[in-house]
Structure 1
Amino acid sequence: MEHFDVIVIGSGTAGYTAAHACRKAGRSVLVVDKQPFGGTCAMRGCQPKKILVAAAQAIHGTSALHGQGVDGESRLDWAALMRFKRDFTYSVPERSEQGFLDAGIRTAHGLAVFSGPNQIRIEKKGYSADKFIIAAGAVPRKLSVPGNELLMDSDGFLELDALPSSIAFIGGGFISFEFAHVCAQAGVRTTMIHRGKSFLRGFDPDLVTRLMEAGQAQGISFLRESSVKQIDQDEGGLTLHISGSDQQTLSVDKAVAAIGRVPDLADLGLDSAGVEHTPRGIKVNSFMQTSNPSIYAVGDVADTQHLLSPTADMEANTAASNILRGNSVHADYTAIPSVVFSIPALAAVGMSEEQAHAHAEQEGIQLMVNAGDASEWMSSRRIGQKHAAYKVILNESTGTILGAHILGHNAGEMINIFAMAMKFGLTREQLKSLLWAYPTHISDIKYML
């Protein structure tokens, strides 16, 4: 049985970060993955998604400026866009694995199954290690209804060779909104179906309403408090049977189950390793250590609050540091921004208004809530943006920011400024005193404070 100092299960952003940190410190490291190397973000998530979104944004931006000095029609060439996307994703596995090998990290392909507290099997070969880092990621959640095999998931959507003339997205979260806006800009008849009352739960409801208005203006239909109970195939495509809506059936060419992702725990043999887990993921402490002291879990496979690439990297660095120097570094989830890359984008960091009011009551502080429509600001008018808004929540006495919520072009960049301010305790007065580069969208922050 071959032995390593550290074995990393998963080759995505978390696994990559942890493996290289351990190898740089002189540890012998093996990385194993049952899928092509590279992970969700680079292969099936953040990066390829953003390639599609960028093209859709360009189409939208051009059409928004019609009559403002721009003429002519632009269209989304899906086949060319997918070729461009694949130029990136197809090279990821080879580049990722070569990066490991160049660093002196061993690699293996196949399903890693724990056969004991410090042992795994890959195919028929056994390996042992002093420490393990599980960074196996997540997979699309399946919709458990009759006919679910007729649905695509987000992975399938990212590999479509041609767009259908009509499509439905089942789910009301990030994935549905981002892909729905791409489809709408391509001229696809697009419907979003969500069983809950509120779309994009966790984001400011006032700004979500504005975003849905923007989506409707682009031709997206929204069915709320509606559940798909069955999917049938017919000559024209699919028939979705819906409950809770006045519309009892919906006929579309394609449908996507976009109801989130679940930790990829299947067949890992966690019980054999004494690793406690739930459907939400592997239980970890603030050191990213599992119930087995020799095993750490990071990224989407861990039961933590934020399932984002930046937090996966942070957790991987935390786990690696604790393996190398003993448990001394805690995972830090302070001021983690989230962005929906819709058109326009919706971004948030910190407390919601509801959370802030509960916090203020508990702590005996006064809030300042600055909210408004930004669609008439020059930064919006010059690009033809008709849907833009903001809400910034502050501690009135200290001037520090408790939460920020932005809808509009460049929201994903702007929210980073608020995250930085919250992380380091900057006040509204300090931010307002900055001489921002002007005219930029980020310079609008001073008007939001």
Structure 2
Amino acid sequence: EYDLLVIGGGSGGLACAKEVKLTWFVYFTFFFFFLGTKWGLGGTCVNVGCIPKKLMHQAALLGSALKDAQILSLSALFLFHSCSSSLNVRLCCFLPNRKVKYFNVKGSFSDPHTIRGLTKGGKETILTAEKIVIATGGRPKYPIHVAGALEYGITSDDLFWLKESPGKTLVVGASYISLECAGFLTGIGLDTTVMMRSIPLRGFDQQMASLVTEYMESYGTKFLKKCIPTKVEKLESNRLQVTWKNTDSGTEETDSFDTVMWAVGRAPDTKALNLETVGVKTNSETGKIIVDAREATSVPHIYAVGDITEGRPELTPTAIAAGKLLAQRLFGQSSELMDYDNVPTTVFTPLEYGCVGLSEEKAVQCYGSDNIEVYHAYYKPLEFTVAERDATQCYMKMVCLREREQRILGLHFIGPNAGEVIQGFALGIKCGATYPQLMKTIGIHPTCAEEITKLHITKRSGLDATVTGC
């Protein structure tokens, strides 16, 4: 009668039967709950195992989160300042233990081997060194061409130190800093608007960027798209009136806000260093220091790492890794260079976006569309099901080379805990993982990350990429 008879309607039996794609028959008991429970299709996992366990685990986590929220809502600002101060103290104590002498001064070059340092009180300190490393980082930029921007606006640096709620806030910019700040301001219940001149998350995969902003809109953040601010004025009520121009229609509009936050990029903090005096070359447009693969500047014994260097990711972990490797090379411990390929990162918006490797656009640009295969899926996190949360923007895609081995060029994930998910997969991609290897990886059930190990629908096929079951 049958080509295959499967006895048992649990995870293994169902998977086997579905894979064969032939007529099949499953013997199962009816679905009743009593001592010595029996159930129908789905087995232990669906009925009394993985799925209910994870849902109850999520309920317990939410219970703990509610307790934490009572504390955080009352003293979040105090806790943040305490945490920051504690870290400052720990770092200051840590340096002497490593035989590092700390000077709290503002430094600038007097000559290629000499730094002149000034304290806040104007006391001068002269320091000389055989080798010098510049790692002064960046600071947020103000759009000084916008009237009132500097007088009445703040930046993300200021936002974290406000003593009162920012109230109704306009965040200007489409960077990850802009979207992250707008996301948590909306999340704590503030009326928040993002003004974007052009595209969101420039440099990131644009399909993913659009999904991020779509979710933010459904989450409650307002967006003014293709708009450019022209002036900020202070009203008698102390509110700030912002005027902007819509670049599509050419019309001018205004609205008032309690706070205007600029997130229009960061600039290297190098102006006071007198780099031109000692011959350190910078990019005339960005102001960033030009370095080679060894992090060396145009002056042989002067080096630079981190956000101030041209062409490097503006990420803390890359600065840390580059700094460590530079020190090891300078003192003969290693000859290893920093590898800036396949650096993972995450945008901590309300629905997180994590990625590693090339965007789809960059992969097409590098290899051509005919040589790229994109596996993708829309999925629904288990945590979203009972709460009936919108999951239409929960999406993942894997960009691969269309060759026999199908090397993975990029992995992009939007959903809960995206940073944790991408950190785990980053090692494999750094090691040259292929699509077949990933398909041999067993997923952890029930997690969002396991959906990556089941990607099988390609964009090229045109098939529906919605995940419909376990």
User: Normalising TM by the smaller chain, what interval?
Assistant: 0.7 to 0.9
Which residue does 1:395 correspond to in 2?
A: 401
Higher mean alpha-carbon deviation, 341-350 vs 314-323, is at 314-323
- Match for residue 41 of structure 2? none
Letter in 1 for 2:242: L
Within a 5 Å distance, the mapping from 1:10-29 to structure 2 comes to: none
State the percentage of identical aligned residues.
27
Q: Which AA in structure 1 matches 2:261?
A: V
SS of residue paired to 1:81:
helix
Q: How many Å separate the matches in 1 of 2:131 and 2:413?
A: 42
For residues 418 and 366 of structure 1, the distance between their equivalents in structure 2, rounded to whole angstroms, comes to 23
Distance change (3 Å), C-alpha of 1:324 and 1:282: same
**Would you say 1:297 and 2:304 are equivalent positions?**
yes
Aligned pairs (5 A) from 1:323-334 = 323-325=330-332, 328-334=335-341
Given the superposition, is the C-alpha separation of residues 382 and 360 from structure 1 closer, same or farther in structure 2, using an over 3 Å criterion? farther
Evaluate the alpha carbon distance shift between residue 75 and residue 236 of structure 1 in structure 2; reply closer, same or farther with a 3 A threshold. Answer: farther
Measured in 2, the distance between the counterparts of 1:76 and 1:341 equals: 22
Check conservation: 1:380, 1:388, Cα contact below 8 A: no
1:12 paired residue number: none
Deviation at 1:217, TM superposition (A): 1.4
2:256 aligned with 1:261: no
Query: Bigger relative contact order, structure 1 or 2, given CA contacts below 8 A and separation 6+?
Result: 1
2:148/2:231 contact within 8 Å kept: yes
- TM-superposed deviation, 1:379: 5.8
Using the TM superposition, give the Cα deviation of residue 317 of structure 1 relative to its aligned residue in structure 2, in angstroms: 1.9
Report the Cα distance in structure 2 between the residues aligned to 1:242 and 1:293, rounded to whole angstroms: 47
Q: Distance in 2 between matches of 1:295 and 1:341?
A: 35
The CA RMSD measured in Å over matched residues stands at 2.7
Compute the TM-score of the two structures, normalised by the length of structure 1: 0.79
- In the alignment, the residues of structure 2 paired with residue 79 and residue 139 of structure 1 have an alpha-carbon distance, to the nearest angstrom, of 30
Contact preservation (8 Å) 1:290, 1:296: yes
**In structure 2, which of residues 149, 163, 172 is the aligned counterpart of residue 170 of structure 1?**
172
Aligned residues of 2:141 and 2:265 also touching (Cα < 8 A) = yes
Q: What secondary structure is seen at the aligned counterpart in 2 of 1:426?
A: coil
Deviation at 1:373, TM superposition (A): 1.5
Residue 370 (1) aligns with residue 375 (2): yes
**Shift in CA distance, 428/382, structure 1 to aligned 2, threshold 3 Å:** farther
2:220 maps to what in 1? Answer: 219
Q: 1:302 to 1:79 in 2, by over 3 A?
A: farther
Cα contact 2:172–2:195 (8 A) shared by 1: yes
Equivalent of residue 240 in structure 2, options 238, 241, 255:
238
Q: Which amino acid aligns with 2:332?
A: R
The residue that corresponds to 1:158 in the other structure is 160
Q: Look up the equivalent residue of 1:167 and give its one-letter code.
A: T
Of residues 161, 183, 186, the one that matches 1:184 is 186
Return the structure number with greater strand share: 1
CA offset digits 1:310-358 (Å, max 9, x no partner) = 1101211232122112994322112111211001101222112122122
Provide closer, same or farther for how the CA distance between residues 382 and 426 of structure 1 changes in structure 2, counting only shifts above 3 A: farther
Helix, strand or coil: the match of 1:179?
Answer: helix
What amino acid maps onto 1:263 in structure 2?
A: P
CA distance in 2, matches of 1:315, 1:337: 15
In the TM superposition, what whole-angstrom CA distance separates every residue of 1:258-317 from its partner, at most 9, and x where no partner exists? 112111002111122221113341110000011111111001121133010111012112
Structure 2 gaps, min length 5? 1-54, 119-123, 457-470
Which residue of structure 1 lines up, in the alignment, with residue 210 of structure 2?
A: 209
SS at match of 1:109: coil
Instruction: Flag the structure with larger Rg.
Output: 2
Change (3 A) 1:247 1:374: farther
Against the structure 1 CA distance between its residues 418 and 95, is the aligned structure 2 distance closer, same or farther, given a 3 Å change threshold? same
2:205–2:361 CA contact under 8 A, matched in 1: no
Structure 1 contact 414–445 (Cα < 8 Å) conserved: no
> Is the deviation greater in 270-279 or in 219-228?
270-279
Residue matched to 1:306? 313
Q: Which moved more, 1:89-98 or 1:430-439?
A: 430-439
Deviations 1:173-216 (A, max 9, x none): 111111111111122111001112x1111222222222222111
The one-letter amino acid paired with 1:115 is: S
Give 1:56's aligned residue: none
Q: Which residue of 1 aligns with 2:143?
A: 143
Say yes or no: does 1:86 pair with 2:86: no
Paired residue type of 1:135 = A
- Equivalent residue letter for 2:411: A
Alpha-carbon distance between aligned partners in 2 of 1:303 and 1:192, rounded to the nearest angstrom: 28
Distance 1:215 1:168, change over 3 A: same
2-side partners of 1:371 and 1:280: how far apart? 39
Which whole-Å deviations, capped at 9, do the CAs of 1:361-383 have from their partners, x for residues lacking one?
39xx73211123223x5464356
C-alpha contact 1:263 1:300 (8 A) present in aligned 2: yes
Asked whether the equivalents of residues 76 and 186 of structure 1 are also in contact (C-alpha less than 8 Å), the reply is no
- Could you tell me which residue of structure 2 aligns to residue 322 of structure 1? 329
Task: Return closer, same or farther for 1:310/1:202 CA change in 2, 3 Å cut-off.
Answer: same
Q: Is the 8 A contact 1:138 1:301 kept in 2?
A: yes
Letter of the structure 2 residue corresponding to residue 141 of structure 1: K
How far apart, CA to CA, are the structure 2 residues paired with 1:146 and 1:328? Answer: 50
Q: Is 1:251–2:256 an aligned residue pair?
A: yes
SS of the residue 1:120 aligns to? strand
Q: Which residue matches 2:43?
A: none
Q: Distance in 2 between matches of 1:260 and 1:381?
A: 38
Q: Tell me which residue corresponds to 1:127.
A: 127
The verdict on how the C-alpha distance between 1:86 and 1:421 changes in structure 2, with shifts beyond 3 A counting, is same
Aligned counterparts of 1:389 and 1:76: Cα–Cα separation in 2: 33
One-letter identity of the residue aligned with 1:164: P
Partner of 1:381: 385
Distance in 1 of aligned mates of 2:253 and 2:71: 32
SS at match of 1:85: helix
